[in-house]
Amino acid sequence: MAGVSGDGGPESLVRKINHFRTSAPIALSTDELFRDASQLAVMNGQGIRPDDCSPVIEGYSNDDHMAHLEAVQAAIRKSYSVIAPLKRQARREMAGALLRP
């Protein structure tokens, strides 16, 4: 069957998985359904792990990595500070709706 690899997977998927296994790069084409974060989640969810890290990563210092992780942590905290009150409000409103006849 054309377009299918020997193991039954589409050739493009097999290429994508093999490419990811080299050093975790995610190459997106213009017609991709899932963006890079989604593709990373799918690969990890399927137990597919890269054999090495991207050479680009090695160009950054440990301080650079820590600064990035701290920025991500700050963004998560900021998002949580907005989401937590909304979650509490939604719970109150749902509880009130259940009590209404």
53, 67: one domain: no
The number of folded domains in the chain is 2
| Average pLDDT, integer, range 62-69 | 93
Which of residues 97 and 21 earns the better pLDDT score?
21
Can you tell me the distance from the alpha carbon of 35 to that of 48, in angstroms, rounded to the nearest whole number?
Answer: 17
Range of the domain at 85: 60-101
**Report field, pTM of the whole predicted structure over 0.75:** no
77, 98: one domain: yes
Across all residues in the chain, what is the average pLDDT?
Answer: 81
71, 40: one domain: no
23, 39: one domain: yes
Using the CB atoms, write b or e for 59-68: b if 16+ within 10 Å: eeeeeeeeee
For 14-44, write each residue's pLDDT tens digit.
888 888 888 777 766 666 666 777 878 888 8
